[in-house]
Each structure stands twice: as C-alpha cells, then as structure tokens.
Amino acid sequence: MKILIVYATSEGQTRKIARFMEEVLQTDNHKVVIADATEEPPSPENFDAVLIGSSIHIQKYHSSIKDYIMKNLDELNQKHSAFFSVSMAIASNIEEEHEEVKKVALGFMEKTGWKPDEISHMAGALKYTQYDYFKKLIMRMIAKKEGGSTDTTKDHEYTDWDAVRSFALDFANKA
Ligand SMILES: Cc1cc2nc3c(=O)[nH]c(=O)nc-3n(C[C@H](O)[C@H](O)[C@H](O)COP(=O)(O)O)c2cc1C
C-alpha cells in the first residue's frame, strides 16, 4: 500500500514518531512517503492512506497541519486516514488532563471538517535541553503538576514505542 505521513513538530518528537512509523510500515512492505507540513507536502491524491500528526503547544495543533488539512479536505475525507496527536497531557496520571487533550483533538476535527477513521493520542517528550529559560520554567511547572520529570538537566521521553508500532500496523491493515 502507498502511505503518506505528514507531520508538524516544534522540538522534533513528532518527527521522530513519524519516522519510526515510516520504518515500521516499510518493514511491513508498504511504500511510504514522509513530509514535514511546512515543506510543501504532496497531496493525498496518489496515496491509498494518509497519516497526519501534530504536537500540541498551548492547547493548539500547528497551523501548518491545519493548513494542509484544509487544503486537502475533500481528498482526505475520501481516503483511509488517521490523526496522531502528540502531547504531554496524555502522559499524565491525571484523567482530566487526558479528557482535556481529547477535547482539543475533537474540536480540531470539528473546526477543520476532517473525519479521520481514527485519532490516536501519543505521549511526547520534555526537551528541557532545547527550551529557553522561560519555556524551561513553564514546562517544569507543568511537569510537576502532571507527574512528569522536573530534572531540567536532560530530556525525558514518554512515547510508548510499542503502542506507536501497533497503531501504525493496525492502521495499514484496516485500509
Ligand atoms: C511551549 C510548550 C507548550 C506546550 N503546551 C502543551 C499543551 O498545551 N498540552 C500538552 O499536552 N502538551 C504541551 N506541550 C508538550 C508538547 O506537546 C510535547 O513536548 C511534545 O513532545 C512536543 O512535540 P514536538 O517536539 O513534536 O513539537 C507543550 C510544550 C511546549 C514546549
């Protein structure tokens, strides 16, 4: 199957997840094209299935992913498609945080009109070494509240790679 993966990222974790899915799907004998939403990604037209992913920053997905979806809405709604949302809230042990981030995703679908077959929530990473002083302070505060690591001397990854693998393979098998 020909699969397109389009992603949007700030600190690189969503790219890492997208590349991992690319590898998993290629190993499963699919043809995969992967593209950054900010770099003129191809239209879904010539693909059998499309995976779109974005991280959340301040309760919002990237505008580049929104623009891509809006531009290709009719095509996307006719394809087998799924959205993967990357956030820290989903790694929290507070259930309300999960509900909050799920609401953000559903609101995004309502706003864009995209009806993916599936929405998957994936835990991202705290990239303290990439944040500036204020970002580091804010993220440390959020991490403290949500049960993430407050050790700002290094990065902390919360992505469940087995779950990402299962998601990608299930998606391809359902097409
Ligand atoms: C400035 C900033 C704001 C963030 N806002 C949120 C948020 O509102 N909700 C959330 O769940 N995670 C939030 N996060 C966590 C990111 O979603 C998480 O770090 C993710 O791994 C980033 O993925 P990326 O590297 O692909 O951009 C935020 C992170 C940063 C640095």
pLDDT tens-digit series, residues 97-124: 999 999 999 999 999 999 999 999 999 9
Considering the entire predicted model, what is its pTM?
Answer: 0.97
What Cα–Cα distance (Å) separates residue 128 from each residue in 30, 116, 143? Answer: 35, 32, 11
Domain residue extents for the chain: 2-124+159-174, 126-158
Q: What is the CATH number of domain 2-124+159-174?
A: 3.40.50.360
Q: Is the CB of 37 under 6 A from ligand 1?
A: no
* Lookup: tokens for 68: 């891509």
CA of 16 to the centre of ligand 1 (A): 14
Write the DSSP assignment of 26-49 as a string of letters.
HHTT-EEEEEETTS-PPPGGG-SE
| Distance from residue 132's CA to the centre of ligand 1 (Å) | 14
Q: How far apart are CA 10 and CA 18, in angstroms?
A: 13
| Ligand 1 atom 25 nearest Cα | 11
pLDDT tens column, 57-93: 999 999 999 999 999 999 999 999 999 999 999 999 9
Q: How confident is the model at residue 145 (pLDDT cuts 50, 70, 90)?
A: confident
